[in-house]
């Protein structure tokens, strides 16, 4: 199947409704029910894992759910691992929406993956998701070895889109707080600034699928009611002070050609390299934002997810 065929197939199964710029009354529950509910049952080469189990970990305001993925060949615990944050604009997404991506990351890296079900807006606005990300990292430092089989000293953080924002922020915050830093960061078409998307010149492909200007505004208005916080380094890690970027862990960034977040991902990688931080990028020129969730329709997406895992596994010494 070509990418165009795969894209049309996915588009026919799932599409966001048209959003007016400030249409905050659209039922979020309906969007959540429709978001990335894909049937993976017939997916070719779906990974076989040693174990997948639900866990309860400590969040910033109480217990939150997490899911642990243990790949075949992970070795005797504790071993290297990946702390994963899903995308969805801080409004959508959960453990199920990104289940297959986590399975493929675990398989490719041979590392245990712990996916976190952080709190979402509009029920929980900024900085709740960011606070949960830090709480999950703190939990992993304290309990990761015994309860998840993950060595905290050999743990990467990863995330796609808004989850990439959380992963990048977590790394920066550990530099600011002089806390235990992740060993690596895997940023999948990350949302690195929440200041503006409308000023960007977007092609019809970029502006019409998955993260249009109106949808960006919808997410931002739900998670960030006070827009004066848009330049806060928690929301816009791309614009963090340079001195807070110099000691960041190595990074690998995936960007897509059909994605309005394309340029900021490349800019972040260039900024890190300019400060002496090891950073690499992989650009998928014909892919759209969110393509790593298109694995039932695209062999490119399946291979990209596996390769992202392999890069992370090599960085952590698992491969």
Catalytic residue IDs: 161, 259, 289
Which of 189, 203, 209 is CA-nearest to residue 304?
Answer: 189
Provide CB contacts within 8 A for 199, sequence distance 6+: none
């Amino acid at each position: 199947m070509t990418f165009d065929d795969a894209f049309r197939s996915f588009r026919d199964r799932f599409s966001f409704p048209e959003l007016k710029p400030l249409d905050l009354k659209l039922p979020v529950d309906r969007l959540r029910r429709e978001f990335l509910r894909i049937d993976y049952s017939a997916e070719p080469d779906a990974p076989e894992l040693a174990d997948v189990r639900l866990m309860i970990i400590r969040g910033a305001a109480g217990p939150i759910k997490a899911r642990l993925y243990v790949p075949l060949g992970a070795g005797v615990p504790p071993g290297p691992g990946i702390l994963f944050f899903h995308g969805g604009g801080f409004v959508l997404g959960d453990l199920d929406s990104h289940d297959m991506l986590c399975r493929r990351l675990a398989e490719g890296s041979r590392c245990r993956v712990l996916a976190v079900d952080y709190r979402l807006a509009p029920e929980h606005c900024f900085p709740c998701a960011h606070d949960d990300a830090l709480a999950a990292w703190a939990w992993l430092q304290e309990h990761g070895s015994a309860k998840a089989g993950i060595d905290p000293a050999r743990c990467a953080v990863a995330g796609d889109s808004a989850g990439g924002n959380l992963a990048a922020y977590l790394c920066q915050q550990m530099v600011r707080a002089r806390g235990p830093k992740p060993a690596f960061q895997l940023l999948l078409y990350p949302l690195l600034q929440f200041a503006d998307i409308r000023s960007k010149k977007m092609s019809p492909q970029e502006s019409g699928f998955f993260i249009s200007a109106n949808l960006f505004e919808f997410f931002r208005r739900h998670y960030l009611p006070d827009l004066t916080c848009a330049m806060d380094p928690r929301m816009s890690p791309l614009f963090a002070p340079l001195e807070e970027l110099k000691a960041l862990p190595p990074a690998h960034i995936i960007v897509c050609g059909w994605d309005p977040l394309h340029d900021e991902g490349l800019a972040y990688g260039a900024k890190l390299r300019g400060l002496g931080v090891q950073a690499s990028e992989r650009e998928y020129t014909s892919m759209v934002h969110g393509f790593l969730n298109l694995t039932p329709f695209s062999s490119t997406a399946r291979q990209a997810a596996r390769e992202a895992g392999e890069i992370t596994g090599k960085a952590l010494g698992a491969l």
